[in-house]
Amino acid sequence: MVTSMDIGVWILLFLVGFIHSSESKYIAYNTTSTIVPGKLNVHLVPHTHDDVGWLKTIDQYYVGSNNSIQGACVQNVLDSLIPALLADKNRKFIYVEQAFFQRWWREQSEVVQKTVKQLVNSGQLEFINGGMCMHDEAATHYIDMIDQTTLGHRFIKEEFGVTPRIGWQIDPFGHSAVQAYLLGAEVGFDSLFFARIDYQDRAKRKDEKSLEVVWQGSKSFGSSSQIFSGAFPENYEPPSNFYFEVNDDSPIVQDDINLFDYNVPERVNEFVSAALSQANITRTNHIMWTMGTDFKYQYAETWFRQLDKFIHYVNQDGRVHALYSTPSIYTDAKHAANEAWPIKTDDYFPYADRVNGYWTGYFTSRPALKGYVRWTSGYYLAARQLEYFKGKSASGPNTDSLADALAIAQHHDAVSGTSKQHVANDYAKRLSIGYTEAEKTVAASLACLTEGATKTGCGTPQVKFQQCPLLNISYCPASEVNFSDGKNLVVVVYNPLGWKREDVIRIPVANEKVVVRDSNGKKVQSQLLPIPDAFLGLRNYHAAAYLGISPSVNPKYWLAFSAIVPPLGFSTYYVSNAKKSANISDRHIAYKSGSQSDGFEVGLGNLKLIYSGKEGKLTQYINRKRKVKESLEQTYKYYPSYGDDGTITAQASGAYIFRPNGSSFPIKPNGKSPLTVLRGPIVHEVHQKINSWIYQTTRLVKGKEHVEVEFIVGPIPIDDGVGKEIATEIKTNLTSSKTFYTDSNGRDFIERVRDYRKDWNLEVNQPVAGNYYPINHGIYLKDKSKEFSVLVDRSVGGSSILDGQVELMVHRRLLNDDSRGVAEALNETVCVSDKCTGLTVLGKYYFRIDPIGEGARWRRTFGQEIYSPLLLAFTESEGNWGDSHVTTFSGIDSSYSLPENVAVITLQDLGDGNVLLRLAHLYEIGEDIHLSIKSSIELKKVFRDKQINKITEVNLSANQERAEMEKKRLVWQVKGSSREPEVSRGGPVDPEKLIVELSPMEIRTFVINFNH
């Protein structure tokens, strides 16, 4: 008879025997496991999240300097990773940020590079996401997102021959529709993972097991734009107690029975219970654990040692099944599970992580950096075109360094405005260095083109072109010369758009005796506008701040004239001395203090603005031709920022968070502020000094039917100890029924409804901050008869807080940190010899009112002109410039123009006779009756004097053939999917006819090879 006591003794004896026999100490952990059907599979995904700049600069993070701020060294991660992966071929790792990886790769020996290539080939090391950085999704423009992804993807393709399969946007603060469909599905990703969604949304999705969805981000592309998307249950870190960096305090798996604190059963139990709780909120029997977080795996072995043990012991235990995995393996497992997934449309904005924690401040944070990023982005597009016309130089100046700087600036702590100040400075410095090199490229190309040397190749051109990157602050030494000594200023005006364009050029000049002529020598109508003190002060202060010089000349006027420029080409204009003065604007003070002056009207064409004499403000918008008449008021206001109230739950407004303290305060002009009205043949302007730190110009330009508003805001006063967030608002009488539309990364417009979310019943805690959305391109609203649109020159936050009203937050200056990690108050300053003042921001926005259904054309076509301003280059000429130079040029056939609904968003010389061409249809389906249609582009005319040898359509990031991508695309089942209208896309390109069709919202990317 065997008693239970005997069994106990037996077990004890057995264990003692076991201990003795295992004294050899070596345990071969069984990590070979793959997916086991019928069990809960816990996909362990080892990863590190390496911010391309945040608390430290990208280079400091890479080399591991400045560790007093944050102990982080990416070099350690990558160095220690390789031996850790080699130690066990079952271990896996994903790497994301190519800006870091490329730094490291360049420094490795051939031997190490070969080893890494093997690790990539075997799937142990997988590149995912694969852009230079994990770009932000709110403050980024789609063209920048494409460019930075392309840069990373093509590098990976060239070095490793692989194409990343997975979108991995685990840290950005809310997620955009454009990310899902354009930078996801159109790149060829099979899935997209992220972490940050609204806390109310997350709670509901956990309940309904709908954290994982099929996301259909595009109205125009319907189901063909779907991508499997997963929001993590909490964040992108491991479950609590499973952190294994060297100094982390999670209990390690102590499995040496000769040592104290043996804990294998406890640790296995904890693992199983964490897995089961996640399984409770997840469909299918696959769950993912993101094993890592910010800058982890600096000593990779510490993580892998524990993961080896977990896989070994958890699988011995058998209740759940653990395996080394990657998001690709996980995605394939989800796909194989044959589940029908809930569908998600639109986007995940705005993001709140708790009550009062709306991450909508960063839509505007660092507005000057945001403006600089957008401006350099447009410049980069134009510079690449000009670089292509000349032929890219590998050794000389080229656009590569600007490409790199712009890519890094898209990071989710860069253009978002959420880095520390010294890091923001680093981003701006990189952009400036990149710009300077691109500027040389542009100057050289224009010199070649004007010297007519394109066909024979360009040697060393003689002409030296200057450009004026500080033209926005009216600083342009090239145009401020004294013409009276016979100088003849040559202005070459380049148009990066594919259609002919007329636009007003505005340059500062030193005196009034000037005349403008076109390339035929014909006098061109011009207008001089006296430069107000507000602009001169801004100019001189910032010239000193940026250049360290005080300008010796004070220009007296802006010279404005209309330039007409061919598609992808340039025109030339001359400014020279005149016997008599040019047309100086008629200037009158319309609203003097104390006077009851009459109302007045401004505007040169169809569009008029009416100002009230009684109140001295804009009251009406009238476009007689379009039969639009609307009452309108435009003002400024500020939101006092919530500060630190001393409580634990305090939520201050900060770099990320917008938390107004109560309602807004109007910023009323002190007393009666005079309106200065300037009128002339080119432009009418109304200047208004709102107060000592806000100055505004309202501009109506000949031939344009929109209003341009230029504002100077700052330094925002903080001497009352209150941070302030400045918004401008325009009120109309449109009955917009709580509904407005904002763009997704400058592309699709998404419907927003105030105090409402489609996906859950919104509990409104922040009636303003919770209704703010990112605006990269524009915002509009409509009623039964009209639509009112506002377009912006950079990313800003904005909303429609009242029916008929639109507001944009243009600047913010804050005194507290908002406790999301940056640990600095967003209080930007500008310094001249160590004396600093609060940052001033100069920017523009544009608005227009159209009859219902007619607004899209302006938003799209003119919107593209805002993104791609005319590029100006200046030089001086003694004699007759036109006698010895090419004065008019078009890169395409002179009889040809791209359709108005298509833009060339990339024209880039790839070397070896290859060119990257990206064409974008600018309209959504149904947006405009005439322009939301299929368009055709004749490549033979685009590349007029070249012979196309081969044309290959590639995916959006140009790392694989489009057809290949289509073949691999995973199709997902969707719950309750309904029939949809047929999706339209352009057909294949016939290599003989060479005509590219584009359907609404379609972007097509081609690698084109030319015969020499």
Binding mask 392-431 for Zn ion (x = CB under 5 A): ----------------------------------------
SS3 labels along 133-173: CCECCCCCCHHHHHHHHHHHHHHHHHHHCCCCCEEEECCCC
Task: Classify 276 as helix, strand or coil.
Answer: helix
Residue 993 CB-density burial (10 A; 0-12 exposed, 13-18 middle, 19+ buried): exposed
User: CB-wise, 171 or 729, nearer to Zn ion?
Assistant: 171
Residues 608-637 that bind Zn ion (CB under 5 A): none
Is residue 170 within 8 A of residue 412, CB to CB? The reply is no
User: Two tokens at 609?
Assistant: 């603005």
* Residue 685 per-residue DSSP state: E
Q: CB of residue 366 vs Zn ion: minimum separation in angstroms?
A: 16
Q: CB of residue 779 vs Zn ion: minimum separation in angstroms?
A: 27
User: CB-wise, 171 or 850, nearer to Zn ion?
Assistant: 171
How far is it, in rounded angstroms, from Cα 752 to Cα 779?
10
Tell me the backbone φ, ψ of residue 744, rounded to 5 degrees: -105, 110
User: CB-wise, 48 or 325, nearer to Zn ion?
Assistant: 48
Q: CB of residue 197 vs Zn ion: minimum separation in angstroms?
A: 16
Task: Extract the runs of DSSP E, i.e. beta strands, from 156-244.
Answer: 166-169, 191-194, 212-216, 226-231
Q: CB of residue 306 vs Zn ion: minimum separation in angstroms?
A: 24
User: CB-wise, 145 or 1001, nearer to Zn ion?
Assistant: 145
User: CB-wise, 171 or 824, nearer to Zn ion?
Assistant: 171
User: CB-wise, 70 or 795, nearer to Zn ion?
Assistant: 70
- The region of 169-177, 350-358, 399-407, 916-924 touching Zn ion under the rule CB under 5 A is 169-177
Q: CB of residue 228 vs Zn ion: minimum separation in angstroms?
A: 23
Q: CB of residue 855 vs Zn ion: minimum separation in angstroms?
A: 37
Q: CB of residue 49 vs Zn ion: minimum separation in angstroms?
A: 6
User: CB-wise, 820 or 934, nearer to Zn ion?
Assistant: 820
> Tell me, what amino acid is at 992?
E
Q: CB of residue 24 vs Zn ion: minimum separation in angstroms?
A: 44
Q: CB of residue 134 vs Zn ion: minimum separation in angstroms?
A: 7
How far is it, in rounded angstroms, from Cα 801 to Cα 782?
14
User: CB-wise, 171 or 828, nearer to Zn ion?
Assistant: 171
Q: Judging by DSSP bridges, how do beta strands 191-194 and 166-169 pair with one another?
A: parallel
> Tell me, what amino acid is at 344?
K
* Distance, C-alpha 662 to centroid of its chain: 31
Q: CB of residue 62 vs Zn ion: minimum separation in angstroms?
A: 15
User: CB-wise, 51 or 803, nearer to Zn ion?
Assistant: 51
Task: Classify 450 as helix, strand or coil.
Answer: helix
- The region of 170-178, 253-261, 559-567, 697-705 touching Zn ion under the rule CB under 5 A is 170-178
How far is it, in rounded angstroms, from Cα 675 to Cα 75?
59
User: CB-wise, 70 or 562, nearer to Zn ion?
Assistant: 70
- The region of 166-174, 253-261, 273-281, 969-977 touching Zn ion under the rule CB under 5 A is 166-174
Q: CB of residue 597 vs Zn ion: minimum separation in angstroms?
A: 55
The size of the interface with Zn ion (CB under 5 A), counted in residues, is 2
237 sits near Zn ion (criterion: CB under 5 A): no
User: CB-wise, 64 or 660, nearer to Zn ion?
Assistant: 64
Q: CB of residue 171 vs Zn ion: minimum separation in angstroms?
A: 3
User: CB-wise, 384 or 411, nearer to Zn ion?
Assistant: 411
Residue 774 preceded by cis peptide, ω within 30: no
User: CB-wise, 411 or 702, nearer to Zn ion?
Assistant: 411
Element containing residue 963 per DSSP (H, E): helix 962-968
How far is it, in rounded angstroms, from Cα 430 to Cα 435?
8
Q: CB of residue 80 vs Zn ion: minimum separation in angstroms?
A: 21
Residues 735-754 that bind Zn ion (CB under 5 A): none
> Tell me, what amino acid is at 904?
V
User: CB-wise, 82 or 231, nearer to Zn ion?
Assistant: 231
137 sits near Zn ion (criterion: CB under 5 A): no
User: DSSP characters for 973-988?
Assistant: EETT----PPP----P
Binding mask 36-75 for Zn ion (x = CB under 5 A): ---------------x------------------------
- The region of 97-105, 164-172, 567-575, 834-842 touching Zn ion under the rule CB under 5 A is 164-172
Q: CB of residue 129 vs Zn ion: minimum separation in angstroms?
A: 12
Q: CB of residue 677 vs Zn ion: minimum separation in angstroms?
A: 49
Task: Classify 716 as helix, strand or coil.
Answer: coil
User: CB-wise, 413 or 927, nearer to Zn ion?
Assistant: 413
Residue 51 CB-density burial (10 A; 0-12 exposed, 13-18 middle, 19+ buried): buried
Task: Classify 602 as helix, strand or coil.
Answer: strand
Is residue 352 within 8 A of residue 404, CB to CB? The reply is no
- The region of 163-171, 205-213, 507-515, 995-1003 touching Zn ion under the rule CB under 5 A is 163-171
**Sheet containing 778-782, strands listed edge to edge, beginning at the edge strand earlier in sequence:** 586-589, 675-679, 683-691, 694-701, 707-713, 841-851, 786-792, 778-782, 739-743, 749-753
Q: CB of residue 411 vs Zn ion: minimum separation in angstroms?
A: 8
How far is it, in rounded angstroms, from Cα 119 to Cα 364?
42
User: CB-wise, 282 or 298, nearer to Zn ion?
Assistant: 298
Is residue 427 within 8 A of residue 149, CB to CB? The reply is no
How far is it, in rounded angstroms, from Cα 24 to Cα 13?
19
Distant-in-sequence, close-in-space partners of 495: CB < 8 Å, separation ≥ 6: 501, 565, 566, 567, 568, 569, 570, 870, 871
User: Two tokens at 1000?
Assistant: 């609404």
Nearest by Cα to 746 from 848, 864, 846, 869: 864
Across-strand partners of 227? 215
Q: CB of residue 759 vs Zn ion: minimum separation in angstroms?
A: 25
How far is it, in rounded angstroms, from Cα 200 to Cα 717?
36
171 sits near Zn ion (criterion: CB under 5 A): yes
How far is it, in rounded angstroms, from Cα 377 to Cα 444?
20
Residue 922 CB-density burial (10 A; 0-12 exposed, 13-18 middle, 19+ buried): buried
Q: Which residue is nearest to Zn ion (CB)?
A: 171
> Looking at the chain, how many residues does it have?
1012
> Tell me, what amino acid is at 195?
A
Q: CB of residue 268 vs Zn ion: minimum separation in angstroms?
A: 32
Residue 979 CB-density burial (10 A; 0-12 exposed, 13-18 middle, 19+ buried): exposed
User: Two tokens at 484?
Assistant: 């009276």
User: CB-wise, 51 or 909, nearer to Zn ion?
Assistant: 51
Q: Is the dihedral of CA 978, 982, 985, 987 positive or negative?
A: positive
User: CB-wise, 171 or 710, nearer to Zn ion?
Assistant: 171
- The region of 168-176, 191-199, 492-500, 822-830 touching Zn ion under the rule CB under 5 A is 168-176
Binding stretches for Zn ion (CB under 5 A): 51, 171
